[in-house]
Each structure stands twice: as C-alpha cells, then as structure tokens.
Amino acid sequence: MSASLSELARRRGQLVGRADAQREAIVAAIERQRVWTTPVETGIALFRIVMAHRLVVLGLAVGMAATRPRGLLRWARRAWAVYGLVSKIRRTLRS
C-alpha cells in the first residue's frame, strides 16, 4: 500500500512540475502577443465608447463642421478608411 502511495506522490510531483512549466510557457507566449494586442484592445475600447455615445460624437462632428469644414473632411476620410479596414478584417475572420 505504501509503495503505491509513494508512486502516486512521485507521479503527482511530476505532473505538478509539468503543469508549472506549461504555465510559464503560456505566460511567455501571452507576453509576446501583448506587444500588438494592447493597441488593438485600445482601439476596440475606443470603438465601444464611440458607439455608446453616438450623440456626443455627432455633436462634435457638427461642431467641427461649423468651425472647420476642411478638418471635418479630413477626419471623415480617415474614419472611412478605418471603417473599410475593420470591414475587411471582419469579413476575413468570418470566412
């Protein structure tokens, strides 16, 4: 009986050691990905804020159009380019 318990303890030690090594590998992989995921997460958060406050964004656009129409056109072009990029990414991820 004690032989099987010592075998179980040894096996448990091996499994715990392997789990620790796997956990460290996963953390390292996540840290390598964080370099490019942080700006993406920031963009997603900004997009959610804009979608939650559409009237505020509309008010800012109207204010910009009233004071600086050319500036609004530049921002509209940028927004359209971003929208096109996001649409392409969504289509690619869906297929």
Give the domain ranges of the chain: 2-52
Q: What does pTM read for this prediction?
A: 0.41
Q: Per residue of the chain (95 residues), what is the pLDDT tens digit?
A: 577 888 999 999 999 999 999 999 999 988 888 877 788 888 888 888 888 888 888 888 888 888 888 877 888 888 899 888 988 888 888 87
Whole-number Å distance between alpha carbons of 74 and 68: 10
Q: What radius of gyration do the chain's Cα atoms show?
A: 26
Instruction: Output the CA–CA distances (angstroms, integers) from residue 47 to 3, 21, 24, 69, 73, in the order listed.
Output: 61, 37, 33, 23, 20
> What DSSP designation does 95 have?
-
